[in-house]
Structure 1
């Protein structure tokens, strides 16, 4: 499931929970509204924390990707240089045979 799907499912779950709580709440409307506000505030805090965590993970993945790209590029450049040296050596060997 994608991250977007998870957040949609989370939002639907929060809405369903709030609706059920309203329908079956054995308390006054004012108290219920306070509890709902508290729940919404907590959900907002949770989403902010989750967003911060996702941002940190994305930054970490980006940095690791850059490191891997640089390492791979260096290895490819070394391989090309080695292959070029081998070709030059082979050409010189053939030229000395002629």
Structure 2
């Protein structure tokens, strides 16, 4: 679970870092205004696709996390059911032993 979450965060960080690095590089680079505007336009045109990729990645990670949480919950429920069944069985065994002991005690008194 943690590994999947960390890889999703890593990918999101890579995308955001790449975006920030690109914008910083464009604004700092010594280019003419016309060339910088052209590069900014190309970057702006690429933003929807990058946002979609990031959204898809985040959704996949959320789905994996949900699936993992559901599996953990089901495992916990199964262990709880097993523990309850074992407790009931032990309780019934104790009750049966007490009934037998009482019956034996009653026979001895007769």
Same topology, TM > 0.5: yes
Does the Cα contact within 8 Å between 2:27 and 2:36 map onto a contact in 1? Answer: no
Runs of 4+ in 1 over 6 A off after TM superposition: none
Equivalent residue number for residue 21 of structure 2:
13
* TM-score, normalised relative to structure 2: 0.64
After the TM superposition, which residues 59-78 of structure 1 pair with which residues of structure 2 at under 5 Å, given as runs?
59-78=63-82
Q: Deviations over 1:41-82 (max 9, x none)?
A: 324422320221111121122023213312320221122112
* TM-score, normalised relative to structure 1: 0.70
Does the Cα contact within 8 Å between 2:26 and 2:36 map onto a contact in 1? Answer: no
After the TM superposition, which residues 43-58 of structure 1 pair with which residues of structure 2 at under 5 Å, given as runs?
43-58=47-62
Task: Give unpaired runs (5+ residues) of structure 2.
Answer: 1-5, 103-110
Q: What is the total number of aligned residue pairs between the two structures?
A: 91
Name the CA distance, whole Å, in 2 between partners of 1:48 and 1:64.
24
Name the CA distance, whole Å, in 1 between partners of 2:60 and 2:39.
31
Aligned-pair Cα RMSD in Å: 2.7
Higher relative contact order (CA 8 A, sep 6+): 2
